Amino acid sequence: MYQSDVDENGYNANKKELNLSHRNLRELDTAIIAAHGECIEYLDISHNRISRLEWLYQMPNLRCLIMDDNRLRETHFEKLKKVSLPKITTLTLNKNELSDLDSTAEMLKQIFPNLEYLSLHGNPMCPDDLCLQPFSEFVPYEYAHYR
């Protein structure tokens, strides 16, 4: 008989992954953070309504953070600027409400100093409809500015 490695909260201890996507969450459950916060390396909280992010400091080993489609804005990250989260190397913030590329990039650089991969597609500052076709005269500017 097949036995799942994932508990009722979406935590996989073998992979150190927590998947809380598509749960209509506004915040993370403090019991889940208390139980697994120290161990989690991969967290997917995409497709929720998360607005508070201070709980990230209770996940010291987090390396990959997926926060797509949460309606996050720059103001949600303001409280995180005081202390960095150096272990996070992968961050996806696709389809949120981030609107200022320069200030967001600077803030994320402060909070996540060791990022290797960042994705911001579908935000007002980086819409999916960038005209990145080879024949477009705007390709070098648009792509270079986003990158």
Radius of gyration over alpha carbons of the chain, in Å?
17
Classified as helix, coil or strand, 101 is helix
Q: Which amino acid is at 102?
A: D
* Better-predicted residue by pLDDT, 103 or 146: 103
* Better-predicted residue by pLDDT, 6 or 85: 85
Calculate the CA 134 to chain-centre distance: 30
pLDDT in tens, 89-108: 999 999 999 999 999 999 99
- Give dist(CA 113, CA 107) in Å, integer: 10
Residue 146 has pLDDT above 70, yes or no: no
Q: Which amino acid is at 122?
A: G
> What's the pLDDT band for 129 if we cut at 50, 70, 90?
low
pLDDT in tens, 18-72: 999 999 999 999 999 999 999 999 999 999 999 899 999 999 999 999 999 999 9
H-only helix segments in 28-137: 30-36, 74-77, 101-111
pTM equals: 0.84
101 within 8 A of 109, measured Cβ to Cβ: no
Q: Region 114-135: what's the mean pLDDT? A: 75
**pLDDT of 108:** 96
3 within 8 A of 12, measured Cβ to Cβ: no
